[in-house]
Amino acid sequence: MHTEPSLNPTLRAGFSLIELLIVIVILGGLVAVVAPGLMDSADQAKRDTVCLKMNDIGKRLDMFKLDNGVYPDTEEGLEALLSNPDAEKYPNYRAKPYLKKLPKDSWKTPFVYIKKGDEFELVSFAADRKEGGEENNKDIRFSECNK
């Protein structure tokens, strides 16, 4: 004869407050260990993306120079890649613009363009959107991207 064990009404179904607190503390500890590494990776990915965008802009500026003999002046800026700023100065400007729209850095800020003689520099002010800075706020320069 087989009998079913009787269900004890005092058996509990669920977790006690202490058990839940222990689980929360363990999960919090794991987050504290893992999160900084993930944040550093995300910041580095943003910086790497800025360099990729700068490389693309640099190629467009090189095409502009091949067609026109010089890079745009600092005052003309990257807008010179959208439309011809001076038809007399740039008679060989392409029929289609070099860019469809001006790209922004990973923090949604426009790039700074500076013509330096026969060269140029592109700058992103990074996360703090201010000139200078250290670590994740350090400016990103085109001239330093490929080093």
The pLDDT tens digits of the residues spanning 36-77 come to: 666 667 788 899 999 999 999 999 999 999 999 999 999 999
Long-range CB contacts for residues 22-26, cutoff 8 Å, separation at least 24: none
pLDDT lower than 50: segments of the chain: none
| Phi, psi (deg, nearest 5) at residue 113 | -110, 130
CATH architecture for segment(s) 24-144: 2-Layer Sandwich (3.30)
Taking the domains of the chain in order of start, what are their residue ranges? Answer: 24-144
How much is the pLDDT for 28? 83
Among the listed residues 66, 67, 65, 86, the one whose alpha carbon sits nearest the alpha carbon of residue 75? 86
pTM of the model: 0.72
**Contact between 110 and 129 (Cβ < 8 Å):** no
**Contact between 139 and 133 (Cβ < 8 Å):** yes
How much is the pLDDT for 137? 87
How much is the pLDDT for 5? 56
How much is the pLDDT for 7? 57
